Amino acid sequence: MTDRAPIYARILELIEPLNTKKIALTDATIFATDMEMDSLTVMDLVASMEDEWDIVIPLNMLPDLENIGQVADAVTTLVTKKG
């Protein structure tokens, strides 16, 4: 089982340059409303995460990933499956 903590920490690092509102980032931070990210910015973030861990985040999974915690869980699961 892959440890979620380092993945979560790295996701926060990847998000920080995109955090134009400079809000506090938590598991519950929602990309669309709290951070006001547009779809292009979200796709840039997805691409960064895919490159970082050499994974593919399925497009049909994206609508369910509304906050940072959900993204961290999904990436951790994908990294664990990749093994």
Domain ranges of the chain: 4-82
CATH among 1.20.1430.10, 1.10.287.370, 1.10.1200.10, 3.30.450.20 for 4-82: 1.10.1200.10
Structural contact between residues 75 and 7, judged by C-beta atoms closer than 8 angstroms: yes
Q: Across the chain, what does the average pLDDT equal?
A: 95
Please enumerate in sequence order all residues whose Cβ is within 8 A of that of 78, keeping only pairs 6 or more positions apart, or say none: 53, 55, 56, 57
Whole-number pLDDT of residue 6: 97
Whole-number pLDDT of residue 1: 61
Whole-number pLDDT of residue 2: 74
Whole-number pLDDT of residue 21: 92
Q: What is the pLDDT of residues 29-56, one digit of tens each?
A: 999 999 999 999 999 999 999 999 999 9
Side chain identity, residue 52: E
- CA 78 from chain centre, in angstroms, equals 12
List the beta strands (DSSP E) in the chain.
none
